[in-house]
């Protein structure tokens, strides 16, 4: 994901590496990378202040790291899953400067980005247990959150209440990405 000022980009990889890049009008330069020992990574986002990066992956732990100390990530939150399930963190997105959303399997939680405390677990009454929500996006005003995934639908929640507002009609196959404006 891009930093709030669009001058940096962060990527997460199956190889367990997180990389951050500096963007200019004419160039993209690798600014740093880390292998935090978390296994394959599937999600990365810059904090709104641009000073921290949040990552998540196969081990179901949301971690925060600082580019100046990339080998010292600290865990914010661990998703606990029922025995026999193996979902991983697929997506993380900041809703505002202090609130982070993370998806793991059919669950989406809102976390305090400083303490890792769960602010709210979003209503999943319209989502089947075997769904993997692979993409998250927040509206620019921070009032809505959208997720989509293997149930072939996109779902929209009210951030303040955690209540689902709508589940869009099914697509013919998985919904891979979503965006709110």
pTM score, whole prediction: 0.92
- The tokens describing 25, both together, are 């009008």
For residue 81, pLDDT beyond 90: no
- The tokens describing 86, both together, are 């193996």
What percent of the chain shows pLDDT beyond 70?
97
For residue 53, pLDDT beyond 70: yes
DSSP 8-state class, residue 2: B
Between 37 and 49, whose confidence is greater?
Answer: 49
Can you say how many angstroms the Cα of residue 177 is from the centroid of all Cα atoms in its chain? Answer: 12
Whose CA is closest to 41, among 63, 19, 56? 56
DSSP 8-state class, residue 181: -
- The tokens describing 180, both together, are 């709110």
According to the model, what pLDDT value does residue 85 have? 66
The pLDDT tens digits for 101-130 are 999 999 999 999 999 999 999 999 999 888
According to the model, what pLDDT value does residue 142 have? 93
% helix / strand / coil in the chain, to the nearest 5? 0, 50, 50
Structural contact between residues 60 and 75, judged by C-beta atoms closer than 8 angstroms = no
Q: What is the mean pLDDT of residues 55-74?
A: 89
Give me the residues paired with residue 136 across strands.
Answer: 147
């Amino acid at each position: 994901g891009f930093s709030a000022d669009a001058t940096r980009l962060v990527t997460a990889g199956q190889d367990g590496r997180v990389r951050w890049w500096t963007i200019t009008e004419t160039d993209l330069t690798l600014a740093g990378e880390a292998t935090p020992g978390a296994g394959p990574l599937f999600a990365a986002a810059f904090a709104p202040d641009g000073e921290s990066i949040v990552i998540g992956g196969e081990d179901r732990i949301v971690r925060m790291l600082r580019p100046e100390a990339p080998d010292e990530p600290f865990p914010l939150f661990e998703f606990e899953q029922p025995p026999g399930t193996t979902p991983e963190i697929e997506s993380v997105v900041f809703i505002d400067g202090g609130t982070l959303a993370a998806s793991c399997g059919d669950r989406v939680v809102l976390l305090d980005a400083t303490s890792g405390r769960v602010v709210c677990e979003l209503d999943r009454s319209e989502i089947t247990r075997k769904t993997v929500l692979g993409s998250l996006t927040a509206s620019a005003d921070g009032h809505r959150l959208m997720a989509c995934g293997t149930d072939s639908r996109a779902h929209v929640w009210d951030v303040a209440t955690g209540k689902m507002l709508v589940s869009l009609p099914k697509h013919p196959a998985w919904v891979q990405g979503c965006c709110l404006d």
